[in-house]
């Protein structure tokens, strides 16, 4: 039985067919290491596969972040100030308007994720799975990408390179921080709010 409507699957496929080439052409491949962009690719796959695990991992990664992104953009629009920070690029005239408009996926994602999690349930294996993914991606960002990109804030918070502690120690703190401050609280919220995902036959019990 299909749990996700076909129109939604076709819609996200069409959107990805625009979003991926546009971002590749403008930004190149490296920015797809941002957890928000990586999450988009995982979300498209999760929708087509109807995978509660993939959708739940994306929920841990971006549900809170995209909500805060939306609050920051609304603050700039309504109050002429950034309440949190991190969305200043949306007013950067050097970035084509159509590229900035594509970034409005941050506004749609929280609503879409809640809808999907209510359909598929929350898979509690998402916490260890997303933690493992994070602990792979962050060292890749730190060791293999230019510090100027500061992907996933691997070199400093809010896009600024930090200098108050050794870089390696900051990387470890960031790896721990994503789990302790973002993934674990969101995991507890989704466990309490969403029904559990149905286990596949033979799957081990989750925490």
Cα first-last separation, the chain: 27
Residues 82/74, Cβ–Cβ less than 8 Å: no
pLDDT digits (tens, 9 = 90+) for 107-116: 999 999 999 9
Average pLDDT over residues 83-92: 89
In this predicted model, what pLDDT tens digit does every residue of 18-65 receive, in sequence order?
Answer: 999 999 999 999 999 999 999 999 999 999 999 999 999 999 999 999
| In the predicted structure, residue 180 carries a pLDDT above the cut 90 | yes
- Give residue-wise pLDDT tens across range 136-155: 999 999 999 999 999 999 99
* The total number of residues written for the chain in this structure: 207
Helix (H, G, I), strand (E, B) or coil at 196: strand
Radius of gyration for the alpha carbons in the chain, expressed in angstroms and rounded? 17
pTM given for the model: 0.92
């Amino acid at each position: 039985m299909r749990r996700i409507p076909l129109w939604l699957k076709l819609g996200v496929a069409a959107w990805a067919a625009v979003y991926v080439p546009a971002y590749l052409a403008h930004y190149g491949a490296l920015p797809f290491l941002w957890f928000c962009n990586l999450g988009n690719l995982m979300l498209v796959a999760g929708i087509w596969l109807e995978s509660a695990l993939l959708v739940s991992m994306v929920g841990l990664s971006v549900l809170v972040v995209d909500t805060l992104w939306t609050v920051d953009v609304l603050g700039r629009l309504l109050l002429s100030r950034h309440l949190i920070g991190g969305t200043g690029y949306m007013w950067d005239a050097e970035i084509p308007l159509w590229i900035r408009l594509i970034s409005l996926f941050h506004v749609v994602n929280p609503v879409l994720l809640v809808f999907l999690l209510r359909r598929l349930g929350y898979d509690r294996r998402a916490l260890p799975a997303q933690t493992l993914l994070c602990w792979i991606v962050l060292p890749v960002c730190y060791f293999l990408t230019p510090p100027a990109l500061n992907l996933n804030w691997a070199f400093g918070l809010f896009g600024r390179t930090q200098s108050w502690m050794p870089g390696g120690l900051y990387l470890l703190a960031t790896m721990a921080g994503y789990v302790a401050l973002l993934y674990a609280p969101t995991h507890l919220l989704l466990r309490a709010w969403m029904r559990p995902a149905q286990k596949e036959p033979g799957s081990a019990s989750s925490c």
